[in-house]
Amino acid sequence: MATQETKQLDEIISSRRAMMLMGGTALASIMLSGKAQAATLTDNDVLNFALNLEYLEAQFYNLAAFGVTIDKLTTPIPVAVNGGTAGNVTLKPAFTKVPFSNPLISAYAAETAVEEGKHVTFLQSALGSSAVSMPKLDLYNSFNTLANAAGIGPAFDPFASDAFFLIGAYIFEDVGVTAYHGAAGAIQSKATLGAAAGILAVEAYHAGLIRTAINALDAGSGTLAGLTQKISATRSKLANPSGTPVDDIGLTTVNVSLNASSGSFAATTFVDADANSIAFSRTPAQILSIVTGGATNNQGVFFPAGLNGTIK
């Protein structure tokens, strides 16, 4: 039975970690919630937007690798800060961590979980008394809704296996790359730009590793690659409801010529980039549309009650 979120996604399909560390003073006007909304944003506003998305990724990876939310780790990461109240994380009934069978994928999940947790604590420290608490997150119904919208099926569990974990991770990391690229031109502080460039590099490492691991696990069958193509098409439609431009490429095989030679060689699209091999770029509104499933009030999918802070 179609849910309200599914209907919203279907309408969009038939008819970008997000703008992190961006200088807020450069944004005199920004598109949010599907309409023009004039706003003068501070750096803290934008950093808090980033923090919302870091909470999401940190929870996903730590749950996959260690089976607990970040506030339940041996060294807990706070989710309620500055007197705020943290939202809960919705998980499937009888949740357990991913039953990894491939030690390399398990190691990747653990390393990324640690790194995403560090991003949360870094932003909390940078924001100090201005940091927002974690909003309500959904890591259960969200994946089912997006799977249905992408034509994958009525349900999808990223915690069920190595392969499904990689597909779940695929949903997040490419979005982070497009968000950081979108932020670069508006950053005012050189120090902030340097930090953003460093985080962008880590995001690109993650995204490339995910794509490489998916390709290896697919072993030429094309099954998992087909899922990435559907996810990329859905992200692009959510970010660009008119259908133009297409700013997302899933894993596929293409023929390329090297150094203008007449020879043609088969290559896999490990890099999600445009014709000039430049990473795609997305605005805050596009990122919000992806992570909330295109909900008109930006409350849906991964953020069922919306984000905390000014940009939401």
Domain ranges of the chain: 4-291
Please name the residues in contact with 160: beta carbons below 8 A apart, sequence gap of 6 or more: 98, 99
- The tokens 């450069």 sit on which residue? 26
Separation CA 46–CA 312 (nearest Å): 10
* Mean pLDDT lowest among 21-25, 76-80, 144-148: 21-25
- pLDDT-derived band at 33, boundaries 50, 70, 90: very low
- pLDDT-derived band at 186, boundaries 50, 70, 90: low
Closest CA to 251 of 269, 233, 271: 269
Give the largest CA-CA distance in the chain. 65
- State residue 34's pLDDT score: 37
Q: What is the mean pLDDT of residues 85-105?
A: 97
* Mean pLDDT lowest among 61-65, 162-166, 194-198: 194-198
**pTM of the shown model:** 0.84
The angle at the Cα of 289, spanning 284 to 292, to the nearest 5 degrees, equals 115
* Mean pLDDT lowest among 27-31, 55-59, 190-194, 195-199: 27-31
